[in-house]
Amino acid sequence: MKFGPSWPEVRELGRLVWDYLVYVTPMAPSEVIVAMGCHDIRVAVQAARLWHEGWAPLVVATGGNGKVTSDWAETEAKAFARVMREHGVPDEAILLEETATNTGENIAATRRLLTQRGVRVSRGILVAKPYMTRRSLATALRRWPGVEWLTSAPEVAYDAYLDDDPRQVLELMVGDLQRMVVYAERGFQAPTEVDEAAWAAHERLARLGYDRYVIS
């Protein structure tokens, strides 16, 4: 894909945004792994890996159809569950939550599902796209307080991830960084200090036209 002479600048601006948004913690024994639905099935593969490593006995695949998966023939949760089964996670270890259409709903609906099942969660693992880890954590801290939340993501470097679909990845990251501020102001997620360089890079990318998912 050609972006013209400004592409080297765009790529480095995106790296600043990525470096801020990616937030992965060490793992510890937990009650549940929450596979945050999205278009990237590598999230499901990572959730399966964590299950096999024994970090939690249960995986919740959460997600209906969102802005990028609206044309999928199945929900994000069903797609994730299918991938996890293909990677050896048994049916009895997987719960499906198929209603959520955004990050806040992922957390709230998973909380309702586990409460109904009588599953008490003191520590949970959020598995998301790399650049969604920080925002997933901030959302969980607001929507499900009292739980120690850990974060994990597919182990894919920025350059490799960007090469999948450069424009879409950059547009999604710009939108997600904006939401780190806007959603905190609206009470949807816990306030988080945003790195100044990352914020300036996000603004520059938006001005360059990578603003498809920016809240107007």
Q: Which residues pair with 95 in a beta bridge?
A: 60
120 and 67 inside one domain: yes
Q: At what angle do helices 7-21 and 133-143 cross, to 10 degrees?
A: 30
Q: In the prediction, which pLDDT does 68 show? A: 84
Are residues 165 and 142 part of one domain? no
Expressed as residue numbers, the domain containing 195 is 7-21+157-207
Whether residues 52 and 117 share a domain: the answer is yes
Is residue 73 domain-shared with residue 171, that is, in the same domain? no
Question: Residue 202 is which amino acid?
Answer: H
- The per-residue pLDDT string of the chain (216 residues; one tens digit each, 9 = 90 and over) reads 444 448 899 999 999 999 999 999 999 999 999 999 999 999 999 999 999 999 999 999 999 988 888 889 999 999 999 999 999 999 999 999 999 999 999 999 999 999 999 999 999 999 999 999 999 999 999 999 999 999 999 999 999 999 889 999 999 999 999 999 999 999 999 999 999 999 999 999 999 999 999 998
How far lies 196's CA from each of 28, 46, 73, 121, 172, in Å?
31, 30, 40, 35, 19
Whether 119 and 148 map to the same domain: the answer is: yes
* Phi-psi domain of 80 (left: phi exceeds 0; alpha: psi -120 through 50; beta: other): alpha
Same domain as 136, residue 37: yes
Q: Which residues of 109-132 are buried (b: 16+ CB within 10 A; e: fewer)?
A: bbbebbeeeeeebeebbbbbbbbb
